[in-house]
Amino acid sequence: MPMKSDLRFSLPTPAQCGEMDRKASETIGISALMDRAGWAVAQAIRARFAPCRVLVLCGPGNNGGDGYVAARYLERAGWSVQVAPLAPPREGSAAFGAAAQYRGRITDFAPENARRADLVIDAVFGAGLDRPPAPEVVAVLSAARTLVAIDLPSTVNGTTGAALVEGPDYRMSVTFVRPKPGHILYPGREICGELICADIGMPEVCLEAAGPTIWLNGPGLWHVPAMSPEDHKYRRGVVSICAGQVMPGATRLAAAGARASGAGLVRISAGEGAAAYCLGAPGLVIDDGPLKTLLEDERRRVWLCGPGLTEPEVAASLPLLLASERIVLADAGALGWAGSEPEKLRGVSVITPHIGEFTRLFGAPGDDLVAAAREAAQRIGAVVVLKGAVSVIVSPDGRVALNDHASPALATAGSGDTLAGVIATMLAAGMAPWEAACAGVWLHGEAGMRAGNWPIVEALDAHLGDARAKAIALACEI
């Protein structure tokens, strides 16, 4: 059963928004919400643009209804406004009422009218968009000099962020209640421009009834343990890392990430390669004994397997870890070892593929990253962290977190190894796998944001402790 998370982090899908609206229509009423939505759009525009000639493109549904309301408020504020309806709203609907209240100028839904306006408001389709818009619609949108979307651009799938057709970019999108996944995921994120989310007084019970399962990653969605006087190194947690002989750098980066994010103890299982690691950081413990013997120590619950490992090295370690029922994070070489048979990874707690590794394991994810990662997580019964500019963190129970708390500064070789170390530390601190993965990705992102311009990967470590302190402080405030 998915655990209930704080609704303030929720990212309801358009389908869930439909459910929310149905619930709201039983209490507060759609017309009242539509009025606040249109008012919020007008306010956002007035705050960012000087008065100018505005054209509002209105579709037949509630998105169009929001457009008529925004037009009315902008006109009332003295702006030059025209509305271009694509099709009239259904008689008796809330949008019909909003259209009737707008008494200003009406013009044709045509490219030349969009071209003449200084600012075009896209109220054609929002959460109801269910197929690619017709070429005539795209032609009008594309003729605009400056575009603002109500809720979502009429070209973007609000669930996946996919562009249904090639269309223009927007200066700003004003959504309501909560952002949708399509506002966060690329390419939707980029097409939307500045994102504003307006509070329109939607009762919380309506959002709850919508049953969101996708969340924006951040402190409060999870809680990282704080430092405590009762701490000792085993309480903070031991991270054990399987080390390779050929690529020691990856192992060392993961170990450094684990230590810098607060592990009590980091041990490297290096076998015959121990000598090379002994020359490294003095705070590491290097083991040269056979893995089987090391696994007799019950305190060593959490293992990282994959960074810097060749396939034979994974073959010699991962099955043993799984047989001894350890909490295993599989990354890099361990994913390569599984090839296109992801079931070989059954028993691990977390995997952290980038898109290439994901594709080799499960096939190309297509436009819907969340659906593909969900299917993958269910298939192997593990948390999947699909890494990217926005990382998708999925639990086998269906919970999804989207992480946009990151920086392109992280796009440097080895940064994935650091991340694996950080997540391992969260696991060793006793966090459940999905929460540990969410926290690790956020801390890694925060470190990337703090690390200045063009940091080398080792520079991330210096910021992980402060990132952890910030996560603890923010979670307390929520």
Ligand X SMILES: Nc1ncnc2c1ncn2[C@@H]1O[C@H](COP(=O)(O)OP(=O)(O)O)[C@@H](O)[C@H]1O
Contacts of 263 (CB under 8 A, 6+ apart): 236, 237, 238, 239, 421, 424, 425, 428, 429
CA 383 – CA 346 distance, rounded (Å): 11
Quick one: what does residue 391 bind among ligand NAX, K ion, ligand X, none, with the CB cut-off 5 to 8 Å set by partner type? ligand X
Rounded to an integer, what distance in angstroms lies between the CA atom of residue 289 and that of residue 105? Answer: 82
Residues 6+ apart with CB under 8 A from 63: 123, 124, 125, 126, 127, 128, 150, 151, 154
Which residues of this chain interact with ligand X, rule CB under 6 A?
A: 354, 387-389, 391, 406-408, 410-411, 413-417, 419, 444
Q: Residue 138 to residues 133, 154, 246, 277: CA-CA distances in angstroms?
A: 7, 9, 54, 59
Buried b (16+ CB within 10 A) or exposed e, 203-215: eeebbeebebbbb
Q: Select from K ion, ligand X, ligand NAX, none the partner in contact with residue 122, using the beta carbon and a kind-dependent cut-off of 5 to 8 Å.
A: K ion
**Among 125, 215, 358, 434, interactor with ligand NAX by CB under 6 A:** 125
Question: 406 is in the binding site of which of K ion, ligand NAX, ligand X, none (Cβ under 5 to 8 A by kind)?
Answer: ligand X
Q: Is residue 188 involved in binding ligand NAX (CB under 6 A)?
A: no
> For residues 419 and 312, what is the distance between their CA atoms, to the nearest angstrom?
23
Q: Which is nearer to ligand X, 37 or 401 (CB)?
A: 401
Beta bridge partner(s), residue 329: 304, 350
Sheet hosting strand 400-403, strand order edge to edge = 214-216, 400-403, 391-394, 383-386, 350-351, 327-330, 302-305, 238-242, 265-269, 285-287
21 binds ligand NAX (CB under 6 A): yes
Site for ligand NAX in 141-180 (CB under 6 A): 150-151, 176-177
85, 126, 244, 448: which one binds ligand NAX (CB under 6 A): 126
| The one among 37, 224, 238, 328 contacting ligand NAX by CB under 6 A | 37
Among 5, 10, 16, 63, binds ligand NAX (CB under 6 A): 63
Over the window 104 to 123, marking each residue x when it contacts K ion by CB under 5 A and - when it does not, the resulting string is ------------------x-
In angstroms, the CA 28 to CA 41 distance is 20
Going by the annotation, the residues of the binding site for K(+) are: 63, 122, 154
Report in angstroms how near the CB of residue 332 gets to ligand X at its nearest: 6
Smaller CB separation from ligand NAX, 188 or 433: 188
- Smallest gap from residue 49 Cβ to K ion (A): 18
85 binds ligand NAX, rule: CB under 6 A: no
Does residue 313 belong to the site contacting ligand NAX (CB under 6 A)? no
The neighbour count for residue 37, using CB atoms within 10 Å, is 30
Sign of dihedral through CA atoms 159, 161, 165, 167?
A: positive
Binding status of residue 34 toward ligand NAX by CB under 6 A: yes
CB of 449 to ligand X, least distance (A): 9
Nearer to ligand X, 264 or 306 (CB): 306
Q: Which residues bind ligand NAX (CB under 6 A)?
A: 17-18, 20-21, 30, 33-34, 37, 59-66, 125-134, 150-151, 176-177, 202
Residues making contact with K ion (CB under 5 A): 122, 126, 149-150, 154
